[in-house]
Amino acid sequence: MTRQQLTEQIFKKRSYLCVGLDTDPEKIPSHLKGHPDAMFEFNKAIIDATHDLCVAYKINIAFYEAHGVKGWDILERTLRYIPEGIFTIADAKRGDIGNTSAQYARAFFETIPFDSITVAPYMGEDSVKPFLGHPGKWAIVLGLTSNPGAEDFELQQYADGDLLYEKVLKTVSRWGDTGNTMFVIGATQASSFRRIREITPEHFYLVPGVGAQGGSLQEVSDIALIKDCGLLVNASRAIIFASGKEDFASEARVVARKYQQEMAIYLGKV
Amino acid sequence: MTRQQLTEQIFKKRSYLCVGLDTDPEKIPSHLKGHPDAMFEFNKAIIDATHDLCVAYKINIAFYEAHGVKGWDILERTLRYIPEGIFTIADAKRGDIGNTSAQYARAFFETIPFDSITVAPYMGEDSVKPFLGHPGKWAIVLGLTSNPGAEDFELQQYADGDLLYEKVLKTVSRWGDTGNTMFVIGATQASSFRRIREITPEHFYLVPGVGAQGGSLQEVSDIALIKDCGLLVNASRAIIFASGKEDFASEARVVARKYQQEMAIYLGKV
């Protein structure tokens, strides 16, 4: 999906919501737990209930890999079930030497044809480049993440004054362009968003950390929204596990709609 | 596998060779290409030909994920085919927020029961910790990698004087211990090995980059071998693709034996 196609969807749906399918079989409603295809049935119900309110689904690959071959089968069927026109993210945090990253690109751009994959930048240019240069596909590179561990390395200062994540933004943004590279910026890092927009004024950000992790949608949107939006804000647990009962899908819709309605207001101002 | 068990195998076999199963179907010998289970048959032949000469197999997960469900099936069967007593490494470079890393740990320690997994440290403590604390299981954390991209971030200097990878070694070694944490240190970085041994005098290193990437086994061994060895040196393409013909397995054995014989000499000196 190109940037223009994504932006059209955002303004049509008045939403930059991404729903995270972190489908943990231990957390799905008990009435589904006995179902032979429980994870897929859960995903199907969540997608049915939310697809008109969101513009993206982010599938957290770990939750599928944890089930081996069976998990990969559920992953493939879930991706195929997502309606046309919705941006799909393999949240996989991959990155390795060039010939190996090329295999990961093949896994998530061809074999299971996602629009994008999250990428870890630690190993540098040849680990990221194989994810660029696929028309309509995106590398979403870790910038400043939402978790406490961001303090350990990402927020440490280099001798030239840049924090590690700032150096990552500056360096990685030179390898690709604003039509094939996004950055992961945690919503819990709102105080840094102004600086981040200065460094990368035109990139899209994938913003996790709203909801269960405590980030503020308003704060992020106030600072980081740009003319063609430039944001995908993800909520996973806050939506998909909004209720642990039979009404899980309709309750997921209630939460997704609340996000969408708030987003419509912020989008009206850009 | 505990450190003591690993060390016993190393001195018994007089080898610290790790064979990397980066099995690319496009590179396997043409007589196997038509086989309905070509990747597994290739791995089986390589394991049969090398298992008495190496102490570890490193399975490069990307090459299996590239084939989706079918790839994961081959991955599982390959792991099961590796004889008892050989250390197994999921070369997966995973790392995410805590609840997600816990799912990756489950994927590679339980569902597909490897002894160890390679882990990317970018996201900090809560992304690495879920891989620690599993008895007999290891996190092999990226330190200084063998690829050109190591220059971009790993070798950049922080304000306090540490290079990024040095800070990673110092910080990560405090989270675990020498019985559950190893580091990836590329053989192409031999000039840094002395400094690395100073920072982490007792940790095992997984050393890729010998062979196709040009690192020197002698140089690495001279500097980094310790009393209970402390090294696993990996060769992938140099061994498994030593020949592209029907003699691929026996040629793989020739190369593996050469490494093993050289290692026996260095081990005799510690």
Phi then psi for residue B10, to 5 deg, are: -60, -45
Give the largest Cα separation in chain B, rounded: 57
A residues 178..217 contacting B (CB < 8 A): none
B38's CB contacts (< 8 A; 6+ apart) are B25, B28, B32
H/E segment holding residue A33: helix A30-33
3-state DSSP call for residue B6? helix
Give the largest Cα separation in chain A, rounded: 57
Q: In this complex, is the C-beta atom of A168 within 8 Å of any C-beta atom belonging to chain B?
A: yes
Q: In this complex, is the C-beta atom of B58 within 8 Å of any C-beta atom belonging to chain A?
A: no
pLDDT given at position A210: 87
A70 is catalytic: no
Decide if pLDDT at B212 tops 80. no
Q: Which domains does chain A have, with CATH numbers?
A: 3-268 (3.20.20.70)
Closest-CA residue to B147 (of B214, B90, B94):
B214
Give the DSSP letter of residue A116: E
Whether residues B93 and A98 touch (CB distance < 8 A) is answered with no
The arithmetic mean of pLDDT across residues A158-187, rounded, is 96
**A214 vs B contacts (CB less than 8 Å):** none
Q: In this complex, is the C-beta atom of B173 within 8 Å of any C-beta atom belonging to chain A?
A: no
Q: How confident is the model at residue B86 (pLDDT cuts 50, 70, 90)?
A: very high
**B72 vs A contacts (CB less than 8 Å):** 68-69, 72
- Least confident interval from A212-226, A230-244, B96-110, B220-234: A212-226
pLDDT given at position A183: 98
Decide if pLDDT at A141 tops 90. yes
Decide if pLDDT at B82 tops 80. yes
Nearest CA in chain A to B147: A97
ipTM of this complex prediction, to 2 decimal places? 0.96
pLDDT above 90: percentage of residues in chain B: 93
**B97 vs A contacts (CB less than 8 Å):** 145-147, 149
Cβ–Cβ under 8 Å, residues B182 and B138:
yes
Decide if pLDDT at A7 tops 90. yes
Residues A238-248: pLDDT tens digits? 999 999 999 99
pLDDT given at position A209: 86
Residues B20-40: pLDDT tens digits? 999 999 999 999 988 999 999
pLDDT given at position B213: 76
Q: Would you put residue B209 in left (φ > 0), alpha (ψ -120 to 50) or beta? A: left
State the Rg of chain A over Cα: 18
pLDDT above 70: percentage of residues in chain B: 100
Whether residues A152 and B125 touch (CB distance < 8 A) is answered with yes
Choose, out of B97, B106, B157, the residue to mutate when testing the contact with A (most A CBs < 10 Å).
B97
Inter-chain CB pairs, A–B, below 8 Å: 193
Map A123-190 to HEC letters. Answer: CCHHHHHHHCCCCCCEEEEEEECCCHHHHCCCCCEECCCCEHHHHHHHHHHHHCCCCCEEEEECHHHH
